[in-house]
Amino acid sequence: MAERVERQQSALSLQMRGICKRFGATVALQDVSIRVDGGQVLALVGENGAGKSTLMKVLSGAVIPDAGQMYLSGAPYLPGNPLEARRAGVAMIYQELSLAPHLSVEENIVLGMEPAALGIVDWKQVRRRAVEAIKEFDNPELTPDAQVRRLSVGSQQLVEIARALAIGCRVLVLDEPTSSLTRQDVERLFEIIGRLKKQGKAIVYISHFIEEVKRVADRVTVLRDGQVVGSSDVDVISTNQIIALMVGRQVDDLYPRSVRRPGEVVLEIEDLAGLEKPESASLQLRRGEVLGIAGLVGAGRTELLRCLFGLESVRKGKIRLGVYAGAASPLKRWMQGAGILSEDRKQEGLALSLSLADNVTLSKLRGFGPFGLVLPSRQDEATGRWIERLGIRCLGPRDRVSSLSGGNQQRVAIARLLQHDVDVLLLDEPTRGIDVAAKAMIYRLIDELATGCPAEGRAPRAILMVSSYLPELMGVCDRVAVMCRGRLGPTHRIDEVDEHKLMLEATGQNERSAYSV
């Protein structure tokens, strides 16, 4: 029988003071302080990588800070793990829900704290608690014996919230709660947040969407590069001011940019739609240019690249790659001279248990021996050249990829595109999770590829690059388009936009202003 959290008499408040956290050489959080009181919604905003998720991991006990204190209703609060945090009354509702999909709503709500005597579950008690927990939500889909996997994502989220409330949590942290919800579910969620607030719960609301923040939150705290850059009541700060706080950063010359001469159109898509995302995307990519796609996580940018490469089904629209029209399989795309760099190195990009040589040459195991045979010595020879050229730190071409660091793994993944000698590169978050040295190398490489080298007979390539890091897009791209909720906006020349404008478009602000006109 799990203990219910004791109701403390003092007023509810959660404070984090001077939190610092480093991961190796990277400073993830530097002297961050936030405060949220009972009956209040605090919005935490910032770009991807600003430190929001690390901060929340500190709050939930998943990460132990290097310095700083936390207080819950005035008493020191130092959870060692997420379970301790829950016991103390702080619950996280993550983007990826942590429910048992095959169990019923009530079983999920009492999971791990089933009321029982002598190990025998007291189902009446279970039902009573579940009904009590979900009656607040007033949602017809949500019945105690409904199977969780049959519920909509929005209702599943409510089950998760109900579970937190059932054990008496009073501080709720919602991490990007609306990113996968329908419009209607979003409204319902906002209504529930309003009710929880009235009941005196303290809520931390993490979001990219400034419109939502303005609607649902009382206070907003902006994080950038691991620091709090501003904190204000929502009523007295404008959307523009919030965005200015989120991006205000200088682009330095980490990004080399040679003179680029865009040539013929090599990739053209028209009103492309996938099964779910993207909903509509049109663009033209020319040889010798870098076209960036900005947007928030979950906007459908990865799906766009995957549709282009034949990894996901296309519902409608036109694709033309070089002289080839229509959708195609990954094999055909490679043969047509396109290559893709996956955003997920470990799950998809690389076969970690195989050698560098096998990974680099996997897309084209031809030309490594007579009669179509693959001679390992020739694979090694080809791989050795890329190890040298890209500065991959490893024991040799036969080293397992799993033993390399993130930055070096990414170099291996890129070496595959270079070894295949593709004309059109689809790069999905090429610098995610890698060190600055590897980033700089990749920016340099992108510039070289886009520029080409006529003297050495290397033609310019065409590069389509998805990134969530705006400074990077501003630094390397010639043109950029923004994707928002599945729709790809118009392409802008890079000198016609700034980060602020892109962020407005990515958060759907331009849509709203269009309505208000």
Partner 1 sequence: MKALNWRRWVNTFGPLLALLGVYGLFVLIAPPSFATVRNLETIARQTTIVGMAALGMTVIIIAGGIDLSVGSLVALSTVVIALLLQNAGTGPVISAAGGVAAAAFFGALSGLLITRLRVVPFIVTLGMMLVVRGTAKGLAREQTIAVDPGRLRWLEYLLRSVAGREQSWMLLPPGVWMWLILAVVMALFLRYTRLGRHSFAIGSNEQTARLCGVAVERVKVLVFTLGGVFAGLGGLMQFSRLTKGDPTVAVGLELDVIAAVVIGGGSLSGGEGSILGTIVGALIMTVIASGCTQMGLPNWVQEIITGAIIVAAVAVDRLRHRHIA
- Binding site residues, partner 1, CB under 8 A: 309, 311, 329-335, 340, 342, 347-354, 358-359, 362-363, 365-366, 369, 372-376, 395, 399-400, 402-403, 416
Cβ 397 to partner 1, closest distance in Å?
A: 14
Nearer to partner 1, 67 or 395 (CB): 395
Q: Which is nearer to partner 1, 14 or 417 (CB)?
A: 417
Largest CA distance in the chain: 82
C-beta closer to partner 1: residue 132 or 421: 421
- Smallest separation, CB 341 to partner 1 (Å): 9
CB of 337 to partner 1, least distance (A): 12
**369 vs 471, which CB is nearer to partner 1?**
369
Question: What residue has token string 């209702």?
Answer: 155
Give the β-pairing of 324-325 and 40-45: unpaired
Whose structure tokens read 């009590």? Answer: 132
At what angle are helices 376-390 and 406-420 packed, to 10 degrees?
120
Residue among 246 and 340 whose Cβ is closer to partner 1: 340
Per-residue H/E/C for 10-38: CCCEEEEEEEEEEECCEEEEEEEEEEEEC
Phi, psi (degrees; rounded to nearest 5) at 159: -60, -45
The two tokens of residue 459 are 């033609």
Provide, rounded to whole angstroms, the least separation between the CB of residue 426 and partner 1: 11
CB of 396 to partner 1, least distance (A): 10
Q: Which is nearer to partner 1, 213 or 387 (CB)?
A: 387
Strands (E), 185-335: 202-206, 219-224, 227-233, 265-274, 281-286, 290-295, 314-321, 324-325
Identify which of residues 383 and 451 has a Cβ nearer to partner 1 in the complex.
383
CB 402 → partner 1: shortest distance, Å?
Answer: 5
Please, what is the minimum distance in Å from the beta carbon of residue 53 to partner 1?
23
Give 3-state DSSP helix, strand, coil % of the chain, rounded to 5: 35, 25, 35
What residue type is assigned to position 453 of the chain? C
Q: Is 143 exposed, middle or buried (0-12, 13-18, 19+ CB in 10 A)?
A: middle
